[in-house]
Structure 1
């Protein structure tokens, strides 16, 4: 008895406590009902994904910047440098054809015209006094041509409205010096047509055709899309510099251009557009993003390009 007690290193109370504190786990119970329908749901999803990959398609778009062009607006510039003498209109004012808009100082033109008119009157008196004087007749003919040219130069110092309409922009003020070729004033006529000019990547030129839809998202109207019909596609693929010349000096620098491009035009059916019940006007130079759908391809072919020949042609 004493030997048995000496071989145990733990007390009886500790052993009984340790044996009584063990909790045995229960058997894992799995319901066969939910495992069964989950299995078939997964099988159905896999089959549906396979069919969608085989039959479904992904469209490919030719995307690029676009600009709104308002046709029927006349942009007036000056041919010679000068100082603005008077501004006779204001933005938004209605004008008639031929109405003066902006006048420039024309001292040199006026003095030249006055000198030619005096010489013309003297030669005219000589011809009337001696109708047989051929030199006087030739001098009179030459002075008549010089007078008409001087009158045209003087009239050119006054910009007049080329058509009836509304003054849309006015970029000068009295006393301002204007360089040759600078835009001074623009007049929007009564008949205005809005055109969208899209600049799409040149590589898509063979796939672009008139009559196809063109999806447009105007800058400032995110996720508000409009769809127009392509009216014309450029015959040439051009570079950024040529595109800037086409858009004009005022608009060409507003668009970031890179790489070869093709010019695509779409006619806008109205001069206004409606977003969420509100009507807005189109303005010349508005920027947008244009997308033209060029083809569709099966999803499976997109994932595995090697199957392109086996699954048929693309649209």
Structure 2
């Protein structure tokens, strides 16, 4: 009969916790380590995080800038340089010229006497505006009918007159304080501000389907010459160019968003 053996069957020994686990011992050790606990995969490198932060900051700055920086809206049209329109003073009634109290080349102010008349409605014909006497059409003793020419006055201001024409739909947004500019054809970088003197009512036919009416603006150039990219030049009647009126301004963001979303 064989003696009992001291050798133990390995199957009879209790298994360790590691051997009883479904996971490898190395995996359990790595899980128990505090290094990057809860972040088993490091898929975003440090430079990408920095770039994302810079991008978010740049977008925030751009939106803030766009919400406060204004952008102007403009109306565009045509501009024509005109000769100063002479003012013709006419006889108001049938009369006889008693005396002419001015001479050619003389500067007159509004209300100054020009010609004295005798007759049923005797009196003095006075200037209705400031100007320079260009021509005297009568002498003492002349017989006059109503409407006969007496004196021709030219404007006292020698600065060139500019006529600007804009689309009629822009009229409600224009007044004498509206900043306006012209750029003469054929002269690069000749954009020049003008001094607005008056805004006329509609010019042109009422049938907009045929020829759209326009708004006529009377203005003056600030000087007898204008500046361009290649120098300074005198202004002549008949020169044409591009007219521009600054109608208002709004923040850049407010102006762009409606266009982006089709509003």
The normalised TM-score by structure 2 is 0.49
Relative contact order: is structure 1 or structure 2 higher (C-alpha 8 Å, sep ≥ 6)?
Answer: 1
> Comparing both structures, which one devotes a greater share of its residues to helix?
1
> Comparing both structures, which one devotes a greater share of its residues to strand?
2
